[in-house]
Chain A
Amino acid sequence: MNSLSKKDKALLLFVAVMALLAPFLLNPFPTDSAMAQFNAGYPDLMQRFAIFGILAIGFNILFGLTGYLSFGHAAFLGVGSYSAVWMLKLLSMNIIPALILSVIIAGLFSLLIGFISLRRSGIYFSILTLAFAQMSFSLAYSVLTPITNGETGLQLNLNDPRILDATNTTGNLPVTGLFGLEMRNTFTLDLGAWAFQFNVGYYVCAAFLLLAFYLSIRIFRSPFGLMLRAIKTNQTRLNYTGLNSRPYTLAAFVISGMYAGLAGGLMASMDPLAGAERMQWTASGEIVLMTILGGTGTLLGPVLGAGFIKYFENIFSKINETVLHSWFSFMPDGLNDAFVWVLHFFVGKGWHLTLGLLFMLIVTFLPGGLMEGWERIRDKIRGGKGGGKNPPAEATKTPAE
């Protein structure tokens, strides 16, 4: 860790503190208040924040650094989930072997797909990865039913072998754990009107998120990361200097595939299920959106984007017309109805419409995502005071002319 710069250390520390205090920070409203529905501090959602954060960080290593837009990343997530569930079925309910296998299998799978897809770049690459993901979906959904259990999805069973575990005599399905620590265990701290929940599974996910974040900082700052950036900037020029760029892109592809595998494995460890719908191409699109929304090529952006999307997915899906009516109840009846009529398209089941619109707006107006938006605001504030980044850059330009 010594080789991290001061700024990176601060960033890592920031993420660590946020992850550690998430049960407090995401739970700002008292349990009984009307605002409690905006709380995000419950285990299931916090686990998803961390898991999709890992996924987006991994995707960013490929897309943010090399500029190769993979449209099939959900396939690796699905592969990771399936291998984890198999490990939970066959070996032990301990999540460590499950995670190890899911990372390895996803890595091998991405090596195969990357080897073929990376022969082309640009749009061809996107289409190829999309085709592969769709093929994996079909494989999981029907062709490989003996392995994936087809439509129903892969689930735990009472008579699974689980050779490392003691024989199960309780008659209930065993739960996932880490050396005896059960993932679903939650400790609730009641403080006045608030109830804060501390979940084992969430902290395991958060630990992996931190590890993933640390690794991505190291990759961003390494010579390898610099090479990947060079590929994004001008691959042709890089090739003319006599350098073969494919091993680098393949490495980036496999690394990001392994990240997705880890995310899939964690998903299965928290809730031991794996289904084909996780691999659908809309799921891949969501990963892309998370990364772009947060800020492609930035360290913190993808984590923010993942949290943003998952939070609003959760909140928007919960709101229905009755809730909307109660919000606008201060208005006269006609106006109230009009507002509710317009808004009800976007909430509840209409979340996907909001997602699609968000996608278009972000790509059109804010290609750099939330991080760019934040920087623009900061620059504006500083620019108002007379300082800012731009003037010195211009000053250095003028002498050259």
Chain B
Amino acid sequence: MDALLLQILNGLDKGSAYALIALGLTLIFGTLGVVNFAHGALFMIGAFCAVTFSKILNISKITLDPEKTNFLGKPLEIKTPYVIEWFGESTGAALIDWAVPLSILFAIPVMLLVGYVMERGLIKHFYKRPHADQILVTFGLAIVVGELVKTSFGANPIPTPAPELFRGSFDFGVLIGMEANAVIYPFWRLVYFGFSAVVISSIFAFLQFTTFGMVVRAGMADRETVGLLGIDIDKRFTFMFGVAAAVAGLAGVMYTPINSPNYNMGMDFLVLSFVVVVVGGMGSLPGAVLAGFMLGILESFASMNEVKSFFEMLYLPSIDQIVIYLVAIIVLLVRPRGLMGREGVMED
């Protein structure tokens, strides 16, 4: 029982990331009808927003301490980050410690801007072109963004730790009345899950309960009619592209403590997120979220030792690497439209 619970919990953090990226992909596809192969790059940009922000917080003033010398016999350099100098010892240190959560505030405007520029500057010109062209141009963009990040941040993963408070693990089992040390779970992963739940529900609430969201949903259903009613639907769709970019970026920001960001992380997530979107049903927002969590949990079950050794008997070692693809194939063979796909979407 506790082993099962642990695997479900383990799946939640990856599942949250899949769900967030897939949600953004579906938003873009549902509104603008564009398949965005650069969405993984947006996830990566988000992660590097966190890296940049913590670097900015760590910009230091260098003072020389004439009394101490370093091993070369020169005066010792003392680095004091400016934030510590400005806000005092404790507040400044806390700011640096909380760099990752704080960079959410930094990432949202940046990602909205990135999304806006990307849509107005590039994607706009591809609405009337075939889907193949859209795929190819966004694929090229993903390569370019990845390489630019590589030249400015280097190819190695950059460790970005979570705040002191959330580091390490805690005993999850005790909370739900199990004995101590039965289910030990890293703190930050739970934070990530909670965060993604908040983001996903606020996106749904935004679409469901605001006038803006209502218009967007109407536009997704029938763009032309909404346009005929005198609403500038293109403007709202551009904004939704920005929102989708921000969702992917936030997923990236919060993922940095789990996995140190490198320039290639977006590509790895992108392929899986596409599989998630296809399994969930193209154009269905709840489907994307559901499939994201489902596949994440499934992946973590497949990495259980018992499951692995069972499949090893069938000459399929490390089944966890391919289980998502296998499930996707089965789902598409049984339900070609995906789990919650609507009729008439992408049925060419």
Contact = CB atoms under 8 A, between A and B. Distances in A.
Nearest to A286: B143
B151 A367 contact: no
Contacts of A279: none
B166 interface: no
A63 B131 CA distance: 13
Contacts of B132: 63, 67, 69, 126
Given A128-B278, A142-B321, A353-B151, A360 B144 contact: yes
Contacts, number: 120
A356 B140 contact: yes
B275 A127 contact: yes
A329 interface: no
Contacts of B148: 353
Given A69-B132, A123-B35, A116 B141 contact: no
Contacts of B278: 124, 127-128, 131
Given A357-B140, A364-B137, A120 B317 contact: no
A358 B136 CA distance: 11
Interface residues of B, number: 43
Interface in B305-348: 316-319, 321-322, 325-326, 328-329, 332-333, 336, 346, 348
The prevalent SS among residues of A at the interface is: helix
A319 interface: no
Of A282, A358, A363, chain B has the most CB atoms within 10 Å of the CB of A363
B147 A352 contact: yes
A251 to B, nearest CB: 21
Given A116-B332, A120-B336, A138-B322, A131 B275 contact: yes
A132 interface: yes
B321 A143 contact: yes
A131 B329 CA distance: 9
B156 to A, nearest CB: 14
B347 to A, nearest CB: 9
Interface in B161-203: none
A258 to B, nearest CB: 22
Interface string A282-298: 10010011001000000
Given A69-B132, A122-B131, A126-B135, A131 B325 contact: yes
Contact of A363 (B137, B267, B316): B137
A319 to B, nearest CB: 16
B147 A356 contact: yes
A121 interface: yes
A119 interface: yes
A67 B348 CA distance: 13
A210 interface: no
Contacts of A248: none
B346 A123 contact: yes
Contacts of A63: 132
Of A145, A235, A288, A364, chain B has the most CB atoms within 10 Å of the CB of A364
Nearest to B135: A126
B136 A359 contact: yes
Contacts of A126: 35, 131-132, 135
A316 interface: no
Nearest to B321: A138
A355 interface: yes
A134 B146 CA distance: 19
A126 B275 CA distance: 11
B348 A122 contact: yes
Contacts of B142: 356
Contacts of A352: 143, 146-147
Interface string A97-122: 00000000000000000001001111
Of B35, B125, B139, chain A has the most CB atoms within 10 Å of the CB of B139
A135 interface: yes
Contact of A282 (B125, B133, B143, B346): B143
Interface in B103-154: 122, 125, 129-133, 135-137, 139-144, 146-148, 151
B214 interface: no
A120 B328 CA distance: 13
A128 B346 contact: no
A139 interface: yes
Contacts of A127: 35, 274-275, 277-278
Nearest to B147: A353
B100 interface: no
A134 B325 contact: yes
Nearest to B139: A285
B8 interface: no
Contacts of A121: 348
B271 A130 contact: yes
Contact of B131 (A123, A353, A358): A123
Nearest to A113: B329
B145 to A, nearest CB: 8
A363 B144 contact: no
A71 interface: yes
Contact of B332 (A119, A122, A142): A119
Interface in B203-234: none
Contacts of B348: 121-122, 235-236
Interface in A218-262: 235-236
A360 B140 contact: yes
A350 interface: yes
A360 B141 contact: yes
A308 interface: no
A116 B143 contact: no
A324 to B, nearest CB: 15
A135 B271 CA distance: 10
Interface string B255-289: 00000000000010001001101100010000000
B317 A145 contact: yes
Q: For the complex of A and B, list the 6 residue pairs with the smallest distance between their C-beta atoms, beginning with the closest.
A: A359-B140, A356-B143, A135-B325, A356-B144, A353-B147, A360-B140
Given A357-B140, A363-B136, 8 more contacts: A119-B336, A126-B135, A127-B274, A127-B278, A143-B317, A356-B140, A359-B140, A363-B140
Interface of B: 35, 122, 125, 129-133, 135-137, 139-144, 146-148, 151, 267, 271, 274-275, 277-278, 282, 316-319, 321-322, 325-326, 328-329, 332-333, 336, 346, 348
6 contacts: A120-B332, A141-B321, A345-B151, A356-B141, A359-B140, A364-B137
